[in-house]
Amino acid sequence: MSPKLLRRAVEALDTFRIETPSWGFADTGTRFGKFFQDAAAIDMGDKLADAGQVHRLTGCCPTVAVHVLWDFVAGEDPRKVVRLARQHGVKIGAINPNLFQDQCYKWGSFGHNDPAIRERALQHCVDSVALMKATGSEYLSLWFADGTNYPGQGSIRERKAHFTAGLQALHKKLGPKQTMLVEYKPFEPACYATDIADWGMALLLAKKAGKRAKVLVDTGHHYNAVNIEQIVAWLLDEDMLGGFHFNDRRYADDDLTLGSIDPYQVFRIFHEIHFFAADRGRMPKIAYMVDQCHNEKPKIEAMLQTVVIAQELYTKAALVDHDALRRAQAKNNVIDAELLLKKAFFTDVAPALAAWRKQGKLPADPLAAHRRSGYERAAAADRRARRKALGLTQGGSFA
């Protein structure tokens, strides 16, 4: 790697931050069940400790996304969680309301045909905005399980109107430095007509909600063969890309470790962001967040894998020669344009990562350092004992 490319790569790493999710450190599973891990987090203290371990080893994960019902105790001062996070060297990041777990949401939340349920869902989100203020969070991350499973079950247009009204009402509660992110998902648990099924629906709803509403792209929330980087490019051009939930998928929302299936796709997504920045002269403000739950891989090790590959692919994407790419595109030189991306993708960025980590006094290999630290063994022993003392037989909290 030339000195010029090395500098560019290190500069990219200096600006890249990725948020880990509290639920990614706890026992989670599928609708069929869970496979428990001794070292999985039991409570919020464990989750923040594990997140702190990831940040100490990688140097780029200073914030932790939280779920309201899973991570805050009703009636307890939320600043207690802020102090706990600080003890572990991290801060509270995106606030995620829970609009899918309570029995009242069987037929939907913002899209429910009962105005009392819609009001309850809205109030929960308003309370989440208050949590944002108390914790210093900048983002309200909204995912809805709402939809229908059978033709004729509900009015698609009526549910759209309910969502529009609810998001507009919620937007009015945001502070001037707060942003709400509207996520989409094509199916699951609603498999006939999910109320926010794709990026176009999310975009329309966010625009109608107000200027502090943006779209959140979950890389697992797409059908096979969907061109995610094209969606990213369009949202960037409309100034409507607010954030990402990163994971990988073979079929749909598989929650796999980032880059485990298609690292070139993640690279192409990052390339569109860097290309946009080169054209506009500024890097867009984007919340990069992980959204993964692992039944098989150890929780922290899987998170480290995702963070490290995200750093690597983000850095590779920063190495594309944009001037040469524009010239090739202007001449419709298809082969050279493609090869410019491939050249960056296949560049060995290990020297840049090593230099950046050395500069930050970080371990050269975060995963190896974690294994040497004995953190996993100590956490497993401690949490086994605590589960036994607490009489927990199924891995502690839901997530």
Listing DSSP states for 177-226 in one string gives: T-EEEEE--SSSS--SEETT-SHHHHHHHHHHH-TTEEEEEETTSS-TT-
Q: Distance (Å, rounded) from C-alpha 345 to C-alpha 313?
A: 8
Give 26-77 as a DSSP string: B--EETTEE---TTSB-SHHHHHHHHHHHHHHHS---EEEEEHHHH--TTS-
Please, what's the b/e burial string for 206-224 (b: 16 or more CB within 10 A of its CB; e: otherwise)?
A: beebeebbbbbbbbbbbee
Average pLDDT on 360-368 reads 98
95 three-state secondary structure? strand
Which residues are 33's β-sheet partners?
Answer: 30
Contact predicate 298/23, CB 8 Å? no
**Is the backbone peptide bond immediately before 21 cis, with ω within 30 degrees of 0?**
no
pTM of the full predicted structure?
0.95
The architecture of the domain spanning 10-390 is Alpha-Beta Barrel (3.20)
Residue 37: band (very low, low, confident or very high) from pLDDT cuts 50, 70, 90: very high
Rounded CA separation 196/233 (Å): 20
Going by C-beta distance under 8 Å and a sequence separation of 6 or more, which residues neighbour residue 116?
Answer: none
Q: Note the pLDDT tens digit of each residue in 125-153.
A: 999 999 999 999 999 999 999 999 999 99
- Interval 149-181: pLDDT, tens: 999 999 999 999 999 999 999 999 999 999 999
Query: Can you give the residue ranges of every domain in the chain?
Result: 10-390
**Per-residue pLDDT, 395:** 45
